[in-house]
Amino acid sequence: MRHVDEYRDAGKARALAASIASLCEPGREYTFMEVCGGHTHTIYKHGIEDYLPDNVTLVHGPGCPVCVIPMGRVDDAIHIARRPDVILATFGDMMRVPGGHGSFFDAKAAGADVRMVYSPLDALRIAERNPGRRVVFMAIGFETTAPSTAMTVLRARAAGLDNFSVFANHVTIIPAIKAILDSPDLRLDGFLGPGHVSAVIGCRPYEFIARDHRKPIVVAGFEPLDILRSVHMLLVQLREGRCEVENQYGRVVPWDGNAKALQAINETMELRPYFEWRGLGFISHSALRVRDGYAAHDAERIFDVPGVRVADPKACQCGEVLKGVLKPWECKVFGTACTPETPIGTCMVSSEGACAAYYNFGRFTRDRVREATR
């Protein structure tokens, strides 16, 4: 298949659905985690769950980069943004993420110079045009976006733009998957592996999941047939008693990853001893910081960062949603106090957040959807 429409063919989806149903053993329940928020978005946008038998359940994982940012990091960034000499640049998704004392939008309304950008290079251009100001890029995301931050730091160094720095919040996917596998809250039968992250890190880092935890994992693409095909591959593995890493997204994901991207990350960034994830708590070696050699571009060393820690609001159940323990509609404030316009938790902000995906596509419960489509 070469064109996107071919990955959305309803006839092929129905044929795959029938084959998936035939692979399920009667009376057995299957629970698979889609690690990536992009998969969650596809699943609810295209109604993939309606193609699956009742005994196959997809639960959402921690792979939405905006969703895992703890409130304290937002407050730290706003603390920097309030300085009169600073321009803080961030992705649009981050603007409404609530910190303990408001969001970037609130800080902007109160006079801070916060600007939305589409890439770290946009932030670098702002630094070029404003030599008298200090431009801080709020860097978020998994290994998918870390290479673009790394390349921008290298460019800033090459261009001598010392007024450009990065407030690094890049996280890494493997420790989060390990934390979920070690959690007693959830019993999983397998994983849909994150396609975009894997385009950078490749498939080998997942081998421990199959080897040590005896769970199959299929790195999956983002179109409806990619997801159905990946579920099918997981079920074939279980049927045959195999636990392996397989790559359904071979048209994008090289088995060994992207060496150039990994090299750029390794040159400019290193693992932090620990980092706080929203809802998951502190996870060791799960995030990146700027290396000593690039300290001139590290906002955490340039500015006085308070290191704020903020407990999530009592009503917020993002942690359970990010661990796949709760479905979004099971959160007490879903769709009432917490909506995309008035988010309490991060999962309602980003388009990759499970709560936003459920809310935007009206899929409040699986039963309700089924009844509506009968």
Mark the segment that binds ligand SF4 (CB under 6 A) among 83-91, 158-166, 219-227, 339-347: 339-347
318 belongs to the binding site for ligand SF4 (CB under 6 A): yes
> Does residue 333 belong to the site contacting ligand SF4 (CB under 6 A)?
yes
Q: How far is the CB of 258 from ligand SF4 (least distance, A)?
A: 32
The answer to whether residue 58 forms part of the interface with ligand SF4 (CB under 6 A) is: no
Q: Which amino acid is at 320?
A: E
Judged by CB under 6 A, the number of residues near ligand SF4 is 14
| Residue 308 lies near ligand SF4 (rule: CB under 6 A) | no
Q: Give the integer Cα–Cα distance in Å for 44 and 229.
A: 16
Q: DSSP states of 160-204 as a string?
A: T-TTEEEEEEEB-HHHHHHHHHH-TT---SEEEE-HHHHHHH-SG
Tokens for 221, please give them. Answer: 């693409």
Q: Does 219 bind ligand SF4 (CB under 6 A)?
A: no
Distance of CA 119 to the CA centre of its chain: 17
Other C-beta atoms closer than 10 Å to the C-beta of 320 total 17
Minimum CB distance to ligand SF4 smaller for 71 or for 135: 71
First vs last C-alpha separation in the chain: 31
Q: Is 61 in the site for ligand SF4 (CB under 6 A)?
A: no
* Nearest approach, Cβ of residue 314 and ligand SF4 (Å): 10
Q: 6 or 330: whose CB is closer to ligand SF4? A: 330
* Helical H segments across the chain, by residue range: 10-23, 37-45, 71-81, 104-109, 120-129, 146-159, 173-182, 195-201, 207-213, 224-239, 259-268, 299-302, 318-322, 354-360, 366-373
Does residue 56 belong to the site contacting ligand SF4 (CB under 6 A)?
no
For the CB of residue 146, give the shortest distance to ligand SF4 in the complex, in Å.
25
CA quadruple 339, 281, 151, 85: dihedral sign: positive
Q: 242, 211 in Cβ contact below 8 A? A: no
Q: Is 64 in the site for ligand SF4 (CB under 6 A)?
A: no
Q: Which of 328, 350, 352, 363 binds ligand SF4 (CB under 6 A)?
A: 328
User: How far is 165 from 43, CA to CA, in rounded Å?
Assistant: 37
CB of 175 to ligand SF4, least distance (A): 22
Largest CA distance in the chain: 68
Cα 326 from Cα 323, distance rounded (Å)? 8
37 is a contact residue toward ligand SF4 (CB under 6 A): no
When asked if residue 334 is in the footprint of ligand SF4 (CB under 6 A), the reply is yes
Residue 331 interacts with ligand SF4 (CB under 6 A): yes or no: yes
**Binding window for ligand SF4 (CB under 6 A); candidates: 16-24, 49-57, 269-277, 345-353:** 345-353
Q: Could you say whether residue 344 binds ligand SF4 (CB under 6 A)?
A: yes
Q: Counting contacts by CB under 6 A, is residue 317 touching ligand SF4?
A: yes
Q: How far is the CB of 321 from ligand SF4 (least distance, A)?
A: 4
Binding site for ligand SF4 (CB under 6 A): 316-318, 321, 328, 331, 333-334, 338, 344-345, 347-348, 355
